[in-house]
Each structure stands twice: as structure tokens, then as C-alpha cells.
């Protein structure tokens, strides 16, 4: 883990080493193995690092400099280093000792701003140009750490943590109410706001350039999907082989760590397919001994009542055990986080990240997996996150809706029958009905949701504990409309549009504020090969029929894994993460109630959070796990809204000095 910060004196005056030291001290939670505080003309630069995540960490020292002009700092991890080294004419033996920052610097020297086209992985970079007295910062398309920035008449401060910005005592640490309201209603579409007034965020896939005399920074958005030509091969098998090759190369990058990585493994196609690719890589490298690859699977704690939503799997241990039986290299571990409060880590991660947590109710099992894998000696854990936006994407919904909308009735009926033949739960009538429902106007679609057991409010009012007055003052509805975000989460009717939404919109950008903080908190780095840019771009460009045809949905990954997965995985329902949420929270109700009562007496919280509604939910807690609003009208609030509201309240307390 690491962090950087830069103060740029916009007047052109010389920078202060005192300021560099101040920022480095503020960044200390993100690294204490190495640090640097340097000045170059108008730039004061701070960098910190904790080593041990990659073999090249021991060679890393930043800022990396070139031509007595450029000074570069970065956080993150490059993928496909061997390809980049070849383009840069760097021999493999030499590349083994070059840290990522040096490769990025050489790419910058060769291609300038266009170097982004040649860089892959999860990275955030800033480059100070002491000749032109200009600063350039950019982030990858893949998940990368936020770059925060503050600007006034005299200076620009860039940092991977707000802590470095607030190290300057004249910069006020004040909450941005619009961003706080956005989080409470899950509107993540503003990629420029932080949770603090006057502190902005450089969003994913964006570049900032600013120099002396510039009134405003120039910020551009890099959309690698927009210019992708469609890929057409002569046979289905060519798509499968290319996908296998890309997955293997993406997985190879995850092995750039001391020892072996661990695996966060579920019963789904995403993580099992990725694990197969990891084991095949290990076999090719001759390190595939029995039990060599440790996996960690979240399972419910012992007092779970077994209730789960229809067509969901609440305990994924059965299919995982069947999968492990096929691969002796796998050493499965099952993590229940027994007795761990669901909100145990909330305050700690907020302390590192200086932001509230969106999924506060589901942190227990995830953080416990990371902790256990770190205790077992791992520095990297690999997950199947992102598979539904690449190799395992489902396309049936969008295609059926399109055939209904365009009047291709015979095609629709034929495919509905084929789908029923391969999936007992997909009756032809149901498939046609869902295609019709997907094309309903919004008011009729809302009525359908209510009929299916959703709350009378099908938007944010159903799941958010935002105070109505705060929602009104923050213009929540107007902001949702302005940003084009549907708070009912109506599925897209086009596969490419859905993939673009996953990549470019939604919570993916906001989670950029948690990457380095989560690494600092747990001591372990998360890697997601299924989000690899090469793999995602390939999946975007190939035809729809590679994902659905002849009654088979998620067709690409199933063909890639033919003969490599057990029946228990192939037929498993979708997993339900945190299925034991009801019993886990029930044990903490009295503590949570006391906290809510205290919060209700704090105006800055009570005016933002509907504490009365939360107390009603707690006081009417259902006796067993509800699975829909038909079971319990406040089902979504009980499961998700309370945890998110408490995360926001604790963040407000922290900023205002009450924690």
C-alpha cells in the first residue's frame, strides 16, 4: 500500500520542504516502510510505501524522475508488464527489477499523455513537469484509488487521501451535504465530488492537466470502449480460445506477489472459472502441489435460520466442496465470521478512508476473509469481482426484450422454448412475460414491482433512511434525474449498454476511495482478473450470441469451462452474500437502538438521518429472516438502509469530533 501528495504553487514560487514533510506525515497510515519528501521548483512532493505486495516493491522509491524534468508518483499495480516492457525495448531480466513507477515513467517519456493506451491494471498517477511547471494526473479504467484535489488562488494540492489536504490547517474539513445525500440514496453518478466541501475527486478514466496561469484544470474523460470495432470470428471456438487466452494472461498478473495469492471463492461461475485458470497457471509453472492454493468462502454463522430469497443459495459451501474435490491443488477454508457484528469494521475503515461506507451491512464476512488470508501469510487475494461484466455476462434478458420490442415473435417463442428445455425454472410463458415487462413504461413497471412485493415506494424511499427534509433540501430527486440514474435499478435491455453502465457508472467510481484504505486496514491487496481491461474490451466487442444462444445464457463462460466445473456449480442458484444478516443484526439490536437514540439528539445527524424510522424498524424487528416486503414491509430498510445510515452518522460524528 502507498500514498502520495503534491502541493503545486500556482504562482510559480518555490515550494516548501516543510509542506512536503507535513503531507508525508499525514499519509503515514498508508505506508511506513519508505517515505520521501522532496521539492522541485513549484512542487512539494510526498510519498509513502508499505512494501511486500510485489517482488518489485523492494526496488521502488518515488518520485521516479527522468530528464531532470519529470517527477512521477503512483499507487496501484500494473498488469501485462511483459507486453509493456517489450514495447519499451526493456529486456525481461531487467524488467524483473523495475518497479511499476519506473515502467510508467518510461511509457510517459515515450508516448506522453497517450501512454494510457499502453498501460493496464489498477493505477493512479501524477507527474510534475518542472520545465513547463505543469502537473498531469490520471487514473486507469480499472478500479483505482481516488486522486483528491483542492485548489485556491495560490496552490493546487493533489493527494490519494484527504488527510494530506487537511494537513494544511487553513483548509476547513467540512462535509459536502450533496455528496452525503447522494450516498444515502445510492446516486453514485457524480464522479467529481468528495465528501468534503471544496475537495474534488479525479474520477476513473480521467486525466487532469493544469499549469501556471490556468484558470481551471483541464479534465478529460478517456472512454476506451467508444472506438472498439466489433470482433467477428469464423467459428464459435475461436471466441472461446481467445477468451481463455485473455483470462490466462489476466490471471498471470495476479501471481506477481511473494509466495502464492489466496482466492476469495464462491459457488458462482465467476470465481470458480477464475480459480480454474489460476490452477492451470500453477500447473504450467510447476507450483501446483496438493493444497497449494488456499481459498476462502463466506458461509452463514450457526444461528442462521436458513431463510433466503427465492432462487438464491444462502450457503455456498456445498458447491465449493464439490469444486474442491475436482482440484487437489485447492485448500478450501470456510469463514463464518461467527459472532462478529456486521458493522464491526465501519468506523475503522472510515478512519482510514475519510468517507462513509455504502455496503456497511455486509462488511463482516468480507473483511474476515481478508484478515484470515493475511494471517495465513498472503499479501494478495484474488476475487471473481467483475465477471458479470466480462466472461460470465448474462444476455438473455436484453435479447428477449429486444425481440419483443422489434416484433420478432417467432424468434422469441422459439428461444423461450429452447431456454425452458435447458433450464427447468425458465418456463416459456414466463420468459415471454419478462420480455414484455422489460418494455413497460415506467409507471406500469412500478406497478409491477409493487405487485411482486416491493414497498409502495419502489425508489430510494424504500431503501434509504435519508431524512425527508434533507432529501428535499439536497434536491435528491432532481439530482437523480440530472445524472440520469434510475434508483429502481431497472435492468438495461442491451448487453453493451449494461456493460458500459457497470464500467463507467454507479458505485464503481466511489469505491475508488476505499482501495488503499482497505489495503492499509487489512494488510492485503485485492486483485480482480475478470476486470482486466483486455478481457473486458474483448467481451464488449464480440457478438451477443457468444453470451446467449440456443436457450443457454452466460454461454461464453460455460463453454470456456466445459468439463472443468462440477454439476453442483453449474446448477447452483445465484449466491446470497450475507444471507445471515437478520440473525447477525438481531444480536446487536439493543446496542444499535441505544446508538440511534443518542444520534437523534445530535441535530447535524437527526436532520440528515430519519432516526424515527430506523427506531420503528428496530422496534418491529421480524422474528425470522424476511426475504421480501411481503414478509416485512421494511425489508430493504432492515437489511441495507440501517447499516448505511449508521455509517453516514458515524462519519459525521468523526468529522465533527465526536468519535
Whether 93 has a pLDDT exceeding 70, the answer reads yes
Give the pLDDT confidence of 549-578 residue by residue, as tens digits: 999 999 999 999 999 999 999 999 999 988
- Measure the CA angle with vertex 181, ends 175 and 183; round to 5°: 95
Give the pLDDT confidence of 376-425 residue by residue, as tens digits: 999 999 999 988 889 999 999 999 999 999 999 999 999 889 988 877 66
Whether 292 has a pLDDT exceeding 80, the answer reads yes
The torsion region of residue 554 among left (phi > 0), alpha (psi -120 to 50) and beta comes to left
Mean predicted confidence (pLDDT) in 40-51 = 96
Mean of the per-residue pLDDT values of the chain: 92
Mean predicted confidence (pLDDT) in 290-318 = 94
Specify the pairing of strand 380-382 against strand 262-264. Answer: parallel
pLDDT at 455: 53
Whether 319 has a pLDDT exceeding 90, the answer reads yes
Mean predicted confidence (pLDDT) in 127-142 = 95
Angle, helices 269-285 vs 236-254, to 10°: value is: 70
pLDDT at 453: 61
Report the distance separating Cα 610 and Cα 465, nearest Å: 5
The sign of the dihedral angle between the CA atoms of 75, 79, 81, 86 is negative
Whether 483 has a pLDDT exceeding 90, the answer reads no
Pull the grid cell for residue 199.
475537495
Report the distance separating Cα 557 and Cα 482, nearest Å: 37
Residue 580: pLDDT band with limits 50, 70, 90: very high
Cα radius of gyration (the chain)? 25
Residue 628: pLDDT band with limits 50, 70, 90: confident
pLDDT at 458: 66
**Contact status, residue 512 vs residue 143, Cβ threshold 8 Å:** yes
Residue 454: pLDDT band with limits 50, 70, 90: low
Q: How far is residue 163 from each of residues 24, 43, 214, 589, measured CA to CA in Å?
A: 10, 18, 26, 33
Report the distance separating Cα 613 and Cα 609, nearest Å: 9
Question: 186 or 226, which is more confident?
Answer: 186
Whether 456 has a pLDDT exceeding 60, the answer reads no
pTM metric for this prediction: 0.95
Amino acid at each position: 500500500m502507498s500514498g502520495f501528495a503534491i502541493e503545486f504553487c500556482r504562482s510559480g514560487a518555490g515550494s516548501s520542504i516543510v509542506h512536503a514533510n507535513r503531507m508525508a506525515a499525514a499519509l503515514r497510515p498508508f505506508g511506513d516502510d519508505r517515505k520521501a519528501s522532496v521539492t522541485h521548483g513549484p512542487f512539494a512532493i510526498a510519498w509513502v510505501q508499505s512494501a511486500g505486495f510485489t517482488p518489485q516493491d523492494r526496488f521502488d522509491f518515488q518520485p521516479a524522475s527522468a530528464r531532470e524534468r519529470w517527477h512521477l508518483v503512483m499507487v496501484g499495480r500494473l498488469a501485462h508488464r511483459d507486453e509493456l516492457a517489450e514495447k519499451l525495448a526493456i529486456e525481461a531480466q531487467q524488467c524483473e527489477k523495475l518497479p511499476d513507477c519506473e515502467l510508467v515513467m518510461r511509457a510517459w517519456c515515450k508516448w506522453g499523455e497517450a501512454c494510457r493506451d499502453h498501460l493496464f491494471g489498477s493505477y493512479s498517477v501524477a507527474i510534475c513537469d518542472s520545465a513547463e511547471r505543469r502537473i498531469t494526473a490520471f487514473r486507469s479504467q480499472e478500479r483505482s484509488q481516488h486522486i483528491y484535489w483542492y485548489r485556491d488562488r495560490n496552490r493546487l494540492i493533489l493527494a490519494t487521501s484527504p488527510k494530506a489536504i487537511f494537513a494544511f490547517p487553513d483548509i476547513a474539513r467540512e462535509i459536502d451535504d450533496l455528496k452525503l445525500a447522494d450516498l444515502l440514496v445510492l446516486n453514485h453518478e457524480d464522479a467529481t465530488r468528495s465528501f468534503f466541501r471544496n475537495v474534488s475527486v479525479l474520477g476513473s478514466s480521467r486525466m487532469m492537466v493544469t499549469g501556471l496561469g490556468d484558470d481551471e484544470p483541464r479534465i478529460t474523460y478517456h472512454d476506451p470502449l467508444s472506438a472498439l470495432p466489433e470482433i467477428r470470428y469464423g467459428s464459435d471456438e475461436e471466441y472461446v480460445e481467445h477468451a481463455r487466452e485473455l483470462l490466462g494472461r489476466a490471471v498471470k498478473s495476479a501471481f506477481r506477489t511473494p509466495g502464492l495469492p489466496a482466492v476469495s471463492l464462491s459457488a458462482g461461475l465467476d470465481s470458480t472459472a477464475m480459480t480454474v485458470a489460476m490452477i492451470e497457471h500453477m500447473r504450467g509453472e510447476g507450483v501446483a502441489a496438493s493444497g497449494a492454493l488456499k481459498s476462502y468462502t463466506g458461509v452463514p454463522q450457526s444461528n442462521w435460520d436458513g431463510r433466503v430469497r427465492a432462487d438464491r443459495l444462502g450457503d455456498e459451501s456445498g458447491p465449493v466442496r464439490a469444486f474442491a474435490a475436482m482440484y487437489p491443488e485447492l485448500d478450501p477454508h470456510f469463514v463464518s465470521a461467527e459472532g462478529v457484528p456486521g458493522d464491526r469494521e465501519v468506523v475503522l475503515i472510515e478512519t482510514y478512508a475519510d468517507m462513509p461506507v455504502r455496503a456497511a451491512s455486509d462488511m463482516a464476512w468480507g473483511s474476515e476473509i481478508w484478515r484470515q488470508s493475511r494471517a495465513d501469510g498472503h499479501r494478495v487475494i484474488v476475487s471473481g469481482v467483475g465477471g458479470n461484466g466480462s466472461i460470465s455476462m448474462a444476455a438473455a434478458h436484453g435479447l428477449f426484450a429486444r425481440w419483443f420490442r422489434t416484433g420478432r415473435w417467432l424468434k422469441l417463442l422459439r428461444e423461450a422454448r429452447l431456454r425452458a428445455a435447458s433450464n427447468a425454472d425458465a418456463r416459456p410463458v414466463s420468459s415471454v412475460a419478462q420480455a414484455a415487462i422489460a418494455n413497460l413504461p415506467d409507471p406500469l413497471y412500478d406497478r409491477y414491482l409493487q405487485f411482486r412485493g416491493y414497498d409502495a415506494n419502489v425508489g430510494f424511499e424504500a431503501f434509504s433512511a435519508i431524512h425527508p427534509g434533507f432529501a428535499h433540501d439536497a434536491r435528491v430527486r432532481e439530482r437523480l434525474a440530472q445524472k440520469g440514474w434510475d434508483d429502481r435499478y431497472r435492468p438495461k435491455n442491451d448487453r453493451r449498454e449494461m456493460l458500459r453502465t457497470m464500467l463507467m457508472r454507479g458505485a464503481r467510481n466511489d469505491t475508488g476511495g476505499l482501495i488503499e484504505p482497505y489495503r492499509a486496514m487489512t494488510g492485503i491487496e485485492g486483485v480482480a482478473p475478470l476486470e482486466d481491461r483486455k478481457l473486458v474490451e474483448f467481451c464488449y466487442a464480440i457478438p451477443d450470441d457468444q453470451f446467449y444462444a440456443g436457450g443457454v445464457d452466460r454461454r461464453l463462460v460455460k463453454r470456456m469451462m466445459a468439463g472443468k466445473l462440477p454439476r453442483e456449480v453449474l446448477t447452483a442458484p445465484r449466491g446470497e452474500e450475507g444471507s445471515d444478516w437478520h440473525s447477525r443484526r438481531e444480536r446487536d439490536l439493543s446496542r444499535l437502538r441505544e446508538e440511534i437514540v443518542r444520534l437523534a439528539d445530535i441535530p447535524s445527524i437527526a436532520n440528515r438521518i430519519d432516526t424515527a424510522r430506523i427506531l420503528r424498524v428496530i422496534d418491529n424487528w421480524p422474528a425470522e429472516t424476511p426475504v421480501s416486503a411481503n414478509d416485512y414491509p421494511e425489508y430493504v430498510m432492515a437489511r441495507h438502509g440501517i447499516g448505511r445510515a449508521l455509517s453516514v452518522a458515524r462519519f459525521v460524528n468523526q468529522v465533527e469530533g465526536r468519535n
